[in-house]
């Protein structure tokens, strides 16, 4: 395998009221329909483009220096690559110095490489869908695309990583998953991901559960003060440790199954 997994960075880091990482989500429109997809990605999915308003809210919420990271996902970012390249240019013009990551299935390899090349700081990298890169659990991407991406990674080591093999029970979840049975699926502990700004104007606490509208995940709107968003996220992390994980352990349930099927039994973070 040419592509390497990235080691994940520290979770829950907030500095001067700013998050170390933020995900950006423009909807679940996709050129695939994976049977395990957390966000119900599909060609008929929704898509709303990034605007200056969304990106200004992003720049108020995330660390702007080199430790900060902004992660574009979806759906499939290469379907609307011009809007993604515009967004990258905008956040660089406004002074964002950190890392940018594009989560992609890599099928539109040339568009993905164009997105990486568009960053004036050369600090935009990609993370590929494990199943679509390897063919384990989903039809593999066309080999012509795979070769282009492998060649790029060989010439620019670290530019294109591969995502984790783990499958979590969120969205379409684990039941329809047809890949290797040994792939990990059932930890009681939430991975404590960084939150998401959706192009519908809302901040959501979890990138895996982003299509789940339960009140537990709602952190606020893009015109709310950034301090309110980070404070709500801290409350959410505390709720994960004090309410969610004890429930998952007591009922012997995978962490994401609790979010997907049992939240009505749990108080919201705000009510704690
Ligand atoms: C929702 S996709 C969106 C970006 C792009 N379409 C892709 O597939 O990489 C983002 C990441 O979520 C991962 N993912 C999707 N469903 C998952 C699941 N049930 N458990 C764990 N990861 C999942 C994908 O493999 C991918 O790495
Ligand atoms: S995992 Fe990615 S490629 Fe697969 S349906 Fe979901 S968004 Fe699309
Ligand atoms: S346990 Fe819940 S909050 Fe954590 S990753 Fe899974 S769905 Fe998201």
Query: SS3 of 238, please?
Result: helix
Q: Could you read off the pLDDT of 13-51 as tens digits, one per residue? A: 999 999 999 999 999 999 999 999 999 999 999 999 999
Q: Pick the residue whose CA is nearest to atom 5 on ligand 3.
A: 190
In a domain, 3, yes or no: no
Q: What is the pLDDT of residue 180?
A: 63
Q: What is the pLDDT of residue 271?
A: 61
* 129 pocket-lining for ligand 2 (C-beta < 6 Å): yes
Q: Could you read off the pLDDT of 234-264 as tens digits, one per residue? A: 999 999 999 999 999 999 888 999 999 999 9
pTM of the model: 0.96
Q: What is the pLDDT of residue 56?
A: 98
Question: What does the pLDDT average to over 89-94?
Answer: 98
- What CATH number has the domain bearing residue 206? 3.20.20.70
State how far the alpha carbon of 151 is from the alpha carbons of 87, 132, 198, 248, in Å.
26, 17, 33, 43
* 37 pocket-lining for ligand 2 (C-beta < 6 Å): yes
Q: Which structural domain, as residue segments, surrounds residue 211?
A: 8-271
Cα(234)–Cα(141) distance, integer angstroms: 38
Q: What is the distance in angstroms between the CA of the first residue and the CA of the last residue of the chain?
A: 46
Largest CA-CA distance found in the chain, in angstroms, rounded: 52
Q: What is the pLDDT of residue 172?
A: 79
In a domain, 132, yes or no: yes
- Ligand 1 centroid distance, CA of 37 (Å): 6
In a domain, 1, yes or no: no
* Closest approach atom of ligand 3 to CA 244: 1
- Average pLDDT taken over every residue of the chain: 94
Which ranges constitute the DSSP H helices of the chain? Answer: 52-61, 81-93, 109-118, 130-134, 143-155, 226-239, 245-250, 255-261
Cα(210)–Cα(191) distance, integer angstroms: 15
Length, in residues, of the chain: 272
How large a percentage of the chain has pLDDT more than 70? 94
CA dihedral over 9, 84, 206, 22, signed as positive or negative: positive
Q: What is the pLDDT of residue 179?
A: 64
pLDDT at 272 over 60: no
Q: What is the pLDDT of residue 181?
A: 57
In a domain, 47, yes or no: yes
Q: What is the pLDDT of residue 8?
A: 86
Question: What does the pLDDT average to over 125-135?
Answer: 97
Task: Please name which ligand lies nearest the alpha carbon of 189.
Answer: 3
In a domain, 144, yes or no: yes
Q: Give the other-Cβ count within 10 Å of 215's Cβ.
A: 10
Residue among 41, 73, 141 whose CB has most ligand 2 atoms within 8 A, to mutate: 41
Question: What does the pLDDT average to over 66-94?
Answer: 98
Q: Name the phi and psi angles at 238, rounded to 5.
A: -65, -40
Cα(233)–Cα(195) distance, integer angstroms: 8
Q: In total, how many domains does the chain have?
A: 1
Q: Could you read off the pLDDT of 149-207 as tens digits, one per residue? A: 999 999 999 999 999 888 877 777 666 556 665 555 567 889 999 999 999 999 999 99
Beta strands in 186-231 (DSSP E): 196-198, 202-204, 218-221
């Amino acid at each position: 395998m040419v592509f390497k997994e990235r080691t994940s960075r520290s979770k829950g880091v907030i500095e001067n009221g700013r998050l170390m990482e933020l995900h950006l989500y423009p909807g679940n429109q996709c050129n695939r329909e994976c049977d395990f997809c957390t966000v119900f990605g599909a060609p008929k999915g929704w898509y709303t483009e990034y605007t200056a308003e969304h990106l200004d809210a992003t720049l108020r919420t995330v660390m702007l220096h080199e430790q900060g990271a902004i992660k574009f996902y979806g759906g499939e970012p290469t379907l609307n690559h011009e809007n993604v390249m515009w967004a990258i240019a905008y956040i660089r013009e406004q002074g964002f110095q950190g890392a940018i990551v594009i989560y992609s299935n890599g099928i539109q390899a040339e568009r993905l490489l164009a997105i990486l090349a568009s960053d004036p700081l050369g600090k935009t990298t990609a993370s590929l869908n494990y199943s679509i890169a390897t063919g384990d659990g989903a039809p593999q991407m066309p080999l012509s695309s795979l070769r282009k991406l492998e060649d790029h990674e060989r010439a620019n080591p670290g530019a294109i990583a591969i995502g984790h093999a783990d499958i979590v029970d969120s969205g379409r979840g684990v039941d329809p998953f047809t890949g290797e049975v040994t792939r990990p699926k059932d930890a009681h502990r939430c991975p404590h991901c960084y939150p998401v700004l959706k192009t519908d104007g809302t901040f959501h606490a979890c990138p895996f559960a982003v299509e789940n509208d339960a009140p537990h995940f709602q952190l606020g709107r893009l015109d709310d003060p950034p301090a309110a968003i980070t404070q709500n996220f801290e409350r959410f992390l505390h709720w994960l440790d004090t309410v969610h994980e004890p429930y998952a352990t007591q009922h012997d349930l995978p962490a994401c199954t609790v979010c997907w099927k049992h939240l009505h039994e749990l108080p919201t973070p705000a009510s704690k």
